[in-house]
């Protein structure tokens, strides 16, 4: 197939890098977003999210003339849906008394509906948004059938998961292997042809539901493995062991690769996607469900740890370092660090949060520091919540000169305990028992 022009619906963390990468590889792209503010920002050559290299990539794409942006879809040879699939905030499923979260597919539904009036015979439609199994067949195909055209007969329809790691999106988009699952083999082939315009990794063709499962399996596998790391941290705490040392020793075994414990699992992927399996088959997913619960309650474990270090939190002033869901990104979605701050405050602590990637973040009930010094001023304790590179290189002597507080609490193994103790700090670390 020859793809002269494609339309990408959703200009977020996946859609925007994908649009600019297609454009810089010679494909005409119309990037579409329902948020007019995002479209205007891009039209002025600015971007609304932080991802290393993205600003330059978008600029190059716009300057090439291949990327244009709009709030409206137009006729094209191919369409890619890359909108978010969060879960409902106030709606839950229930299985044997166990509550589970439910996917909110409204953005995917709206994006598919926006394609109906511009869909033509011979087009290709690809869903990239992470979705519960069978979404392509049972949600997207029927919506698009309202155009009078049938998926697999009149147009090609496929599911292709993105697998890029925030922080490395532009490189991984090109280098990672890509799975393309079609509702027919011809649909998979058409999808593979489209991605071959820039993907250097292997492009593997399969069916749509397999591709949907592949995506969910990848992130669920990671979630379950982080859950066991968190549980090991609880055990190490109980038995007077340093979990970080124990993990590094266990990982010397040739077939063991334990991940890192921490304050919990955040972001819009790993903390969300396993729920799509649970929702689709709660009777078959007790392990996945329990792992989600372990990771979701990890912020409460951090609260207990802080209480152990500081006693009652009433009136205690805490400098919280990092609010992002993981190191060196600006994304605060589902961030366990944010939840930890809320929990500390509920116990009476006065928390000032410093997030260098989002200093102006506007989070209900959270006081943001304007810089590190501001966070430290008058603090009783310094709490490390995210392993941002600039936090791991902090010098305890420098910190000591800016605050009288001498309690350092590390939830991510970011600090050299001896160095901090040597400067007079009492150090409490997640997963390190006494």
Q: Which residues bind ligand SAJ (CB under 6 A)?
A: 130, 162-166, 218-219, 222, 226, 259-260, 262, 265-267, 269-270, 325-326
Between 334 and 380, name the residue whose CB sits nearer to ligand SAJ: 334
CB of 162 to ligand SAJ, least distance (A): 6
Among left, alpha and beta (phi > 0; psi -120 to 50; other), residue 432 is beta
The token pair that represents 293 in the structure block: 């619960």
Angle at 136 between CA 132 and CA 142, to 5 degrees: 120
**How many angstroms separate the Cα of 225 from the Cα of each of 164, 294, 328?**
19, 11, 22
Identified catalytic residue from 269, 316, 326, 352? 269
Place of tokens 């050299």: 416
Considering beta carbons, is residue 84 or 405 the nearer one to ligand SAJ?
84
Closer CB to ligand SAJ, 54 or 143, in the complex? 54
Q: Is 316 a catalytic residue?
A: no
- Beta strands 67-70 and 28-32, pairing class: parallel
Q: Which of 215, 316, 326, 352 is catalytic?
A: 215
* 8 Å CB contact between 400 and 427: no
Nearest approach, Cβ of residue 170 and ligand SAJ (Å): 13
Is residue 198 within 8 A of residue 396, CB to CB? The reply is: no
Which CB atom, from 62 or from 409, has the smaller least distance to ligand SAJ? 409
CB of 378 to ligand SAJ, least distance (A): 29
Residue 368: strand, helix, or coil: strand
Q: Return the H-helix or E-strand segment holding 172.
A: helix 169-175
- Choose between 164 and 381: whose C-beta lies nearer to ligand SAJ: 164
Cα–Cα distance, 139 to 145 (Å, whole number): 10
- Nearest approach, Cβ of 399 to ligand SAJ (angstroms)? 23
CB-wise, 227 or 349, nearer to ligand SAJ? 227
Cβ neighbours for 286, distance < 8 A, ≥ 6 positions apart: none
Query: Quick check: is 7 catalytic?
Result: no
Shortest spacing between CB 256 and ligand SAJ, in angstroms: 14
Q: Quick one: which of 266, 175, 279, 282 has its CA closest to 219?
A: 266
Contacts of 274 (CB under 8 A, 6+ apart): 216, 219, 220, 223, 224, 288, 291, 292
Residue 238 CB, shortest distance to ligand SAJ, in Å, is 20
CA distances from 184 to 85, 115, 133, 189, 190 (A): 24, 20, 16, 9, 10
Closest CB to ligand SAJ among residues 222, 317:
222
For residue 163, which of 175, 147, 153 has the smallest C-alpha distance? 175
CB 187: neighbour CB atoms within 10 A? 26
**C-beta of 294 vs 407, nearer to ligand SAJ:** 294
Least distance to ligand SAJ, CB of residue 310, Å? 23
Burial, 97: exposed, middle or buried (Cβ in 10 Å; 0-12, 13-18, 19+)?
exposed
DSSP states along 207-237: EHHHHHHHHHHHHHHHHHHHHHHHHHHHHHH
Minimum Å distance from CB 163 to ligand SAJ? 4
List the catalytic residues. 215, 269
């Amino acid at each position: 197939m020859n793809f002269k022009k494609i339309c990408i619906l959703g200009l977020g963390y996946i859609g925007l890098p994908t649009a600019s990468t297609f454009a810089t590889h010679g494909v005409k792209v119309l990037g579409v977003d329902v948020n007019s503010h995002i479209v205007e920002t891009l039209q002025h050559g600015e971007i609304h999210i932080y991802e290393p290299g993205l600003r330059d990539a978008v600029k190059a794409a716009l300057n090439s003339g291949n990327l244009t942006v709009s709030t409206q879809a137009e006729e094209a040879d191919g369409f890619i849906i890359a909108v978010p699939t969060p879960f409902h905030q106030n709606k839950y499923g229930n299985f044997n008394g166990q509550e589970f979260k439910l996917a909110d597919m409204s953005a995917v539904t709206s994006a598919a509906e926006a394609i109906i009036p511009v869909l033509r015979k011979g087009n290709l439609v690809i869903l990239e948004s992470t979705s519960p199994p069978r979404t392509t067949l049972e949600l997207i195909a029927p919506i698009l059938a309202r155009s009078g055209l049938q998926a697999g007969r009149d147009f090609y329809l496929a599911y292709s998961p993105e697998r890029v790691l925030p922080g490395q999106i532009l490189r991984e988009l090109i280098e990672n292997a890509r799975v393309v699952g079609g509702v027919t083999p011809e649909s998979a082939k058409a999808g593979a042809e489209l991605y071959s315009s820039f993907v250097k990794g292997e492009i593997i063709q399969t069916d749509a539901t397999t591709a949907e499962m592949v995506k969910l399996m990848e992130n669920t596998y990671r979630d379950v493995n982080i859950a066991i790391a968190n549980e090991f941290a609880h055990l190490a705490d109980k038995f007077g062991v340093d979990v970080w040392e124990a993990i590094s020793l266990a990982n010397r075994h040739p077939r063991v690769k334990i991940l890192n414990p921490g304050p919990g699992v955040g972001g819009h992927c790993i903390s969300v996607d396993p729920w799509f399996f649970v929702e689709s088959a709660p009777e078959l997913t007790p392990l996945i469900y329990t792992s989600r619960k372990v990771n979701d309650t990890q912020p409460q474990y951090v609260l207990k740890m802080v209480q152990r270090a500081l006693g009652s939190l009433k009136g205690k002033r805490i400098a919280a370092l990092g609010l992002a869901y993981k190191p060196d990104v600006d994304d605060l979605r589902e961030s366990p660090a944010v939840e930890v701050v809320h929990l500390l405050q509920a116990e009476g602590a006065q928390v000032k949060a410093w997030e260098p990637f989002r200093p102006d973040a506007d989070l209900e009930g959270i006081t943001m520091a304007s810089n590190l010094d501001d966070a430290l001023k008058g603090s009783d304790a310094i709490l490390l919540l995210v392993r941002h590179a600039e936090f791991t290189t902090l010098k305890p002597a420098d910190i000591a000169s800016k605050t009288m507080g001498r309690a350092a609490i590390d939830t991510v193994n970011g600090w050299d305990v001896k160095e901090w103790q040597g400067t007079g700090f009492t150090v409490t670390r997640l997963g390190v028992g006494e």
